[in-house]
């Protein structure tokens, strides 16, 4: 049912041509041999189909991943079997960082639609970062950002605020990656948005309807356009990046 992790398809670590690390979350500003060293621990792989798994919760941690195209979601499952989507990962973003401590992936990573990624050997990355202070610096920064962001999600908000905040944050991330911030595709199904924001799919549906009625957005299936960004930001409050 699920494709195995990337390495099984690439016997040795390949240079990852399409995956310009400068555009990733690791703008280390390296050159010459350093860049080659870094590229040597990066492994590109063939694309994943819809709902295909990159790794499963519980699996031994060895790599972190950078999204090249498409979108991935990370999902945790609690003791009662309820699953929860901890995040959606856009091109240029990293995931798998939460596994460093426990040495096992705590979540499963799943592709949404057709997506591709780079695998980065964590062990190599860590030891490489001993040699490259700026890489270490970037790594720590990145982790810190993750901490901060997931903490700011823990505040208590109405369903309306959560959804508005989610859309604003998504827009900001798309913008940061060079895409349009006002028009993008909601690759994930409503059910996944609802799950991620801890609400019923019905609520998401009702809210989208309200947002459209109030002239904040237009939606056509998965094609979303933000009409009134200001109002949306106001509604979301601090839920997004502020």
Tell me which residues touch DNA (CB under 7 A). Answer: 158-160, 189-191, 198-206, 208-209, 219, 221
H/E stretch holding 139: helix 133-152
148 binds a second copy (CB under 8 A): yes
d(CA 175, CA 72): 18
Q: Is position 126 an interface residue for a second copy (rule: CB under 8 A)?
A: yes
| Choices 11-19, 111-119, 142-150, 168-176; region in contact with a second copy by CB under 8 A | 142-150
* Tokens representing residue 222 in the block: 């998965």
Tell whether residue 108 is a contact of a second copy (CB under 8 A): no
Nearer to DNA, 130 or 221 (CB): 221
> Under DSSP, is residue 138 helix (H, G, I), strand (E, B) or coil?
helix
CB atoms within 10 A of CB 168: 23
Does residue 191 belong to the site contacting a second copy (CB under 8 A)?
no
Nearest to DNA of 141, 205 (CB atom): 205
Residue 191 interacts with which of a second copy, DNA, none, CB < 5 to 8 Å by class:
DNA
Q: Phi, psi at residue 163, to the nearest 5°?
A: -70, -45
* 158 touching a second copy, by CB under 8 A: no
Task: Please answer whether residues 209 and 219 qualify as being in contact, where contact means their C-beta atoms are separated by less than 8 angstroms.
Answer: no
Q: Which of 23, 59, 114, 152 binds a second copy (CB under 8 A)?
A: 152
Counting contacts by CB under 8 A, is residue 123 touching a second copy? Answer: no
Euclidean distance between CA atoms 226 and 239, whole angstroms = 17
Taking the C-alpha atoms of residue 125 and residue 138, their distance in angstroms, rounded to an integer, is: 12
Its sign, for the CA torsion 10, 18, 166, 97, is positive
Q: How far is the CB of 183 from DNA (least distance, A)?
A: 17
Which positions lie near a second copy, rule CB under 8 A?
76, 78-80, 82, 84, 86-87, 97-102, 106-107, 126-127, 129-130, 133, 136-137, 139-148, 150-156, 198, 237-238, 242
């Amino acid at each position: 049912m699920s494709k195995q992790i990337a390495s099984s398809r690439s016997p040795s670590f390949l240079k990852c041509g399409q995956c310009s690390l400068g555009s990733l979350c690791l703008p280390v500003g390296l050159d010459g041999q350093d860049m080659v060293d870094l590229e040597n621990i990066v492994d590109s792989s063939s694309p994943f189909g819809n709902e295909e798994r990159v790794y499963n919760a519980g699996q031994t941690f060895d790599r972190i991943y950078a999204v090249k195209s498409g979108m991935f979601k990370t999902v945790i499952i609690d003791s009662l079997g309820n699953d929860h989507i901890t995040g959606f990962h856009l091109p240029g973003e990293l995931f798998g960082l939460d596994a460093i401590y426990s040495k096992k992936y705590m979540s499963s990573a799943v592709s949404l639609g057709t997506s591709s990624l780079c695998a980065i050997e964590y062990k190599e990355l860590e030891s490489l970062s001993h040699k490259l202070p700026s890489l270490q610096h970037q790594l720590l920064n990145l982790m810190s950002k993750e901490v901060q962001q997931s903490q700011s999600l823990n505040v208590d908000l109405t369903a309306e605020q959560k959804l508005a905040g989610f859309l604003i944050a998504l827009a900001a991330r798309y913008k940061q990656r060079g895409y349009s911030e006002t028009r993008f595709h909601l690759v994930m199904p409503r059910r996944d948005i609802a799950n991620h924001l801890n609400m019923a799919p019905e609520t998401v549906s009702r809210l989208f309807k309200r947002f459209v009625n109030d002239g904040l957005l237009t939606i056509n299936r998965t094609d979303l356009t933000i009409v009134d960004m200001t109002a949306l930001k106001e509604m979301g409050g601090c839920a997004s990046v502020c």
